[in-house]
Chain A
């Protein structure tokens, strides 16, 4: 069926596109200007010269270190999520025990718990076990808070595996573990890559746990680096913009390669 184009909606979407794109344009164009030029010409003008000094400044102000720390946190969080969520989702989808369905509700409930609500006890816990100002102390709660949404996504994928496939495995007399490794994991590759991208994004952009649970320069992550950079160099706008741009480069790279996994996962979140 051919539908008429909806001009009004098209114009509306174009206006919103400008609202989204103009700040991003100012961000990028600002990073290539000197402070003086940016101040004189204003943020909306085209850069008349081209300098990479702002990026150099951002990097020498410690961003290399922050990146490394953030990579450690992200890898740690993704590793925990990938280790814990597939067996959990497998149990939720296939187990007959009442406990498993109870656990699923328990994780659904977890979706509604804001990190702020538990931050004081988590701070107490991390302090008590001596992980304060240690990246492991950031990784653990960040991973825990990524579990509910990842479980929701992956158990959705695993439900699509049909009973006949399990029966076929049963012919060979396979154990649940064998079915898990030979059948469930290979068939849920899509869902597994979605939760990997998801949890990585959450870890990379995390702010509250690093803010509360770390203190020293040597454990600072990128988001805190930005915050700190702003309080220190508040007037150096091109420098700040370069730091913001740098902070999103890895995310954009991942997005380029994993766009489908990410968009599908998000679309499914409210598609029911």
Chain B
């Protein structure tokens, strides 16, 4: 709220010098709102109007044929008592927590290390980067092949993996999905931490080493606090990513065994596009939006991210 108020004051104030505009010269490079209009309309049509529409559709019954029919709270009553829905929310939460817990420490360590000036960094970063280029579909198909109980890696390392059918049990399947998520997304988070770590002023480290602080001490007293804002961005991206993991679940486990890896995003797909119950699907989608927004807001609140709005200006 405070930022809104200050910005409103700063707006007219900042533009006073060139207020006698419209005389031609001073308006150069001051495009009107019309320049933003085509993109805005296009985006609204495919992202924002549908966001409103999904709320409306959640009160309808629609099987894909004909027109949606208003049914009031029926879909919501179905969902509240649906054990799979409740389970899917817990699973999503588990996915998010495990994803953040496995990816964050790893990508901070790798990012800080890669920001240093050691040899071969370019080659190593280039290899780290490869999973980021692959589609989730390709990654899932690759790992499914690598983990095949008969022909894959687990079969060769039976001392480690037992019978090798990792995807056949709930804990195995969740473990695989978390690991594959880590394999796929750690490079991205490493990269944003690397960018941030490079931006930390060297003077801080120089001062610290004059004071006799060792490498570990420097990491905890300088590097980590300086990476705080980046960490929040990164964690929000992990949360939204974990909540909406879809291709990986569809291709690696198809929600199974049973419904043991049916996270909410996947359940939405099943209800809407496999059971052709678009009303219930929309209701689940709305839950997804609300949960994503809530978690992001909590992360923002807890971290005090909203207090540093000013640094968003530079984005």
Residues 74 to 113 of chain B near chain A (Cβ within 8 Å): 106, 109-110, 112-113
Q: Mark A98-131, 1 if CB is under 8 A from B, else 0.
A: 1111010011001011111111111111010000
Known A-B contacts A121-B54, A147-B39, A272-B311; A42 and B137 likewise in contact (beta carbons under 8 Å): no
The reply to whether B153 and A271 form a contact with Cβ atoms under 8 Å apart is no
Give Cα A107–Cα B47 distance, bound, in whole angstroms.
Answer: 10
The reply to whether A95 and B137 form a contact with Cβ atoms under 8 Å apart is no
Number of A interface residues in the complex (CB < 8 A): 119
A-side interface mostly: helix
The reply to whether B28 and A170 form a contact with Cβ atoms under 8 Å apart is yes
Give Cα A251–Cα B128 distance, bound, in whole angstroms.
Answer: 15
- B73 interface contact, C-beta 8 A: no
The reply to whether A112 and B296 form a contact with Cβ atoms under 8 Å apart is yes
Residues 5 to 55 of chain A near chain B (Cβ within 8 Å): 5-6, 9-10, 12-13, 16-17, 19-21, 23-24, 26-27, 30, 38-39, 42-44
CB distance from A154 to the nearest CB of B (A): 11
- A190 interface contact, C-beta 8 A: no
Residues 254 to 274 of chain B near chain A (Cβ within 8 Å): 265, 268-269, 272-273
- B15 interface contact, C-beta 8 A: yes
Known A-B contacts A13-B114, A112-B293, A230-B144; A120 and B35 likewise in contact (beta carbons under 8 Å): no
Residues in B neighbouring A94, C-beta threshold 8 A: 29-31
Tell which of B50, B51, B113, B133 touches A6, judged by Cβ atoms closer than 8 Å.
B113
Shortest Cβ distance from B251 into A: residue: A227
Shortest Cβ distance from B55 into A: residue: A121
- B145 interface contact, C-beta 8 A: yes
Known A-B contacts A113-B289, A270-B234; A23 and B138 likewise in contact (beta carbons under 8 Å): no
Residues in A neighbouring B224, C-beta threshold 8 A: none
Residues in B neighbouring A201, C-beta threshold 8 A: 133
A-B contact list, 8 entries, CB within 8 Å: A1-B205, A121-B51, A124-B57, A124-B278, A144-B45, A169-B28, A175-B28, A176-B31
Residues of B bordering A, CB below 8 Å: 7, 11, 15, 24-33, 35-36, 38-40, 42-43, 45-51, 53-54, 57, 62, 64, 68, 106, 109-110, 112-114, 116-118, 124-138, 141-146, 148, 150-153, 155-156, 183, 186-189, 191-196, 199, 202, 205-206, 209, 215, 229-230, 233-234, 237, 240, 243-244, 246-247, 250-251, 265, 268-269, 272-273, 278, 281-282, 285-286, 288-289, 292-293, 296, 311-312, 314-315
4 further interface pairs, Cβ-Cβ under 8 Å (given A94-B30, A97-B33, A171-B25): A13-B113, A114-B243, A223-B247, A248-B133
